[in-house]
Structure 1
Amino acid sequence: MTMNPHISLPRQHGPPPNFGGTAPNNRSDGVRMPRFFKRLFKFPQMDFEMAVWEMTSLIIAPKKVFRSIYYHKQTRNTWHRPDPSFTYLLSFFLLLTSLAWGLAYADGFVKTLRIMLVFIFVHFLAFSLLVSTAAYFLVGRLLGPGVPGLPGRRRQGLFSQPGESEQLEFGYCFDVSIRAFFPVWVFLYVVQFVLMPLIASNHWVSLFFGNTLYLVAFGYYTVITFLGYNALPFLHHTELLLVPTAILAVLWFISLFGFNLPKHLAPVLWAGAKLRKGV
């Protein structure tokens, strides 16, 4: 007797297949929990290797970071990447730098702890949420598809669902914001900390170098934000997002006439501690 394997063919009117995503929800009145929140504490499933690659590319070649979103859109049906590994990794780096800033410039454990909390939850997370919320409403309506005369004027969802038309997702706005923050961390939380004794001195060369550091950091933030939204095919005139670079250049030139940015905007000052060593 020969045994032939039985292969069942898919039903003609059966449910759509699920390629790596969450199980389809056939309830029309229910609301699915976004995959980002489902994976929030599933550390073994997080792709930290991908997060490290993105961090490296954001400094060297930031355009590469957003080239893979088309593949992600085809396989997951969402522009948002539901993997919090980048957020966790950058938060950990901010934790380490906050310890360095606290040990160098804060008096006591309480102020050091305050710097740690402010760096992670205010500077990084709260600021990223604020920027992503503003971008979600402004970019989605002003640069997205919509009715003539008022582009993007339509319903927007926090996270796209299967079968929905192209729309700007809040999760993707947050992805762009946290990735744009990484160069800010590199230049203002790491490089500035190492060179603080030099750039905070009372010399014009120190003023020039310190202020240029802020120009580069915020310039990176603007360019990465532009690249993130420019990668979405349904957004138009995204070059308008580069306008802040001209404003930053003008403010940088004005600051060279005596306004030392590190003395007024150093990250540890935002946390309420006072800099020592002549600052």
Structure 2
Amino acid sequence: MAITLTIPSTYGCSERLSAAAKRWRFLRRLKRYDQMDFQFAAWQMVNLIIAPRKVYRHFVSRKETKNQFARDDPAFLVLFAGFLCLSSALMTVMFHHGPVQFLGYVAGFFKLLAWTVFVDCIGTGLLIATALWTLTNHLFRSDLTQDVEWGYSFDIHLNAAFPFLACIHVVQPLFYENVLNSTNLLSVFLGDTIYLLACSYYVYITFLGYSSLPYLRNTKRFLTLLPLLLATYVVCIVMQWNISRTVVSLYQSVFAL
């Protein structure tokens, strides 16, 4: 169900900056750790997993006070980067199947971290954010005087990517060796369920992000991906294809873990 929130025509902040000016202001704040609200960023991360609707209420509130939906505080991005470092380290240790060698761990960690940051997070985010930004601005707007900010589309991706990667990079490695690394039906069921949960989180949080914009219509179409995910999940279970085992084997071969 779409979130219906009304934004007043006169905002609390009259300043209107170009997209380039907003990006420059955001990047400048990366050097000012004392001005970042890490406590609130951590609150957002927790609630993206347990209550994602609460996070988007804050995005609408920011529009009323700062005249933009996109984040202006890079604290979330800094914490996300720290999370990727820790989760990559966890995956390196849990998925390493060769002899225990320090240099092997280090090399595997940096290769996996680079892939996670530049492909899984940033690269994929640039593609998805740009595609959905273009799609929503061309097909979903009910008020042509309003448009979706690209920065907000990228924020939606980051919001959706955090619980997705938490499932794949934290839950999966913790249970892989003793529970998921098998071809029996229980391992297949649990391994595929982790990926169903991760992908469902991504779709649902993406839906929440765009449905919180009052000038977009038909945002429920994003939820049509959920039945497709469920159908794919059932097919994988019937075929006894353990997605977790396949993905981890790919990680181990590509990154020499």
- Corresponding residue of 1:201: 182
* 2-structure distance, mates of 1:94, 1:21: 37
Mapping of residues 62-81 of structure 1, within 5 Å: 62-81=52-71
> Could you say what secondary structure the match of 1:80 adopts?
coil
Measure how far apart 1:103 and its partner are: 2.8
Kindly report which structure 2 residues correspond to 1:51-70, keeping only aligned pairs within 5 A, or say none.
Answer: 51-70=41-60
Give the aligned partner of residue 215 of structure 2: 234
Q: Which runs of 5 or more structure 1 residues have no equivalent in the other structure?
A: 1-17, 147-151, 153-164
Which residue is 1:48 aligned to? 38
Residues 113 and 259 of structure 1: CA distance in aligned 2, closer, same or farther (over 3 Å): same
Give the corresponding residue for 1:157. none
- Please point out which of 116, 121, 134 is paired with 2:118: 121
Match of 2:156 in 1: 176
Displacement, 1:237? 0.4
How far 1:274 sits from its partner (Å)?
5.2
Cα offset, 1:47, TM superposition: 1.5
3-state secondary structure, aligned to 1:36: helix
Structure scoring higher RCO (CA < 8 A, sep ≥ 6) equals: 2
Counterpart of 1:112 in structure 2 is 109
Percent identity between matched residues is 32
Cα RMSD between the aligned structures?
2.5
Query: 8 Å contact 1:145–1:234 — kept in the other structure?
Result: yes
What amino acid is the match of 1:140? N
Offset of residue 125 of structure 1: 1.7
Say whether the 8 Å CA contact 1:115–1:271 is kept in structure 2.
no
In 1, the alpha carbon distance for the partners of 2:195 and 2:26 equals 32
For 1:220, the aligned partner's letter is: Y
Residue 147 of structure 2 corresponds to 167
Instruction: Confirm or deny: 8 A CA contact 1:115 1:268 kept in the other structure.
Output: no
8 A Cα contact 1:188 1:266, kept in partner: no
Letter in 1 for 2:148: L
What is the rounded CA distance, in whole Å, between the counterparts of 2:122 and 2:211 in structure 1? 23
CA offset at residue 68 of structure 1? Answer: 1.8
The alpha-carbon deviation at position 166 of structure 1 amounts to: 2.0
Letter of the aligned partner of 2:242 in structure 1?
N
| Alignment-mate amino acid for residue 214 of structure 2 | P
Q: Which residue number corresponds to residue 149 of structure 1?
A: none
Match of residue 258, structure 1, among 227, 231, 240:
240
TM-score scaled by structure 1?
A: 0.77
Please state how far the C-alpha of 1:270 moved relative to its aligned partner. Answer: 8.2
Match of 2:21 in 1: 32
Q: Kindly indicate whether residue 130 of structure 2 is the aligned counterpart of residue 133 of structure 1.
A: yes
Question: Alignment partner for residue 215 of structure 1, among 180, 196, 211?
Answer: 196
Q: Is the 8 A contact 1:105 1:274 kept in 2?
A: no
Task: Determine if contact 2:160/2:206 at 8 Å carries over to the other structure.
Answer: yes
Instruction: Give me the whole-angstrom Cα distance separating, in 2, the residues matched to 1:141 and 1:103.
Output: 45
Instruction: Check whether the contact 1:95–1:119 (CA below 8 A) recurs between aligned residues.
Output: no
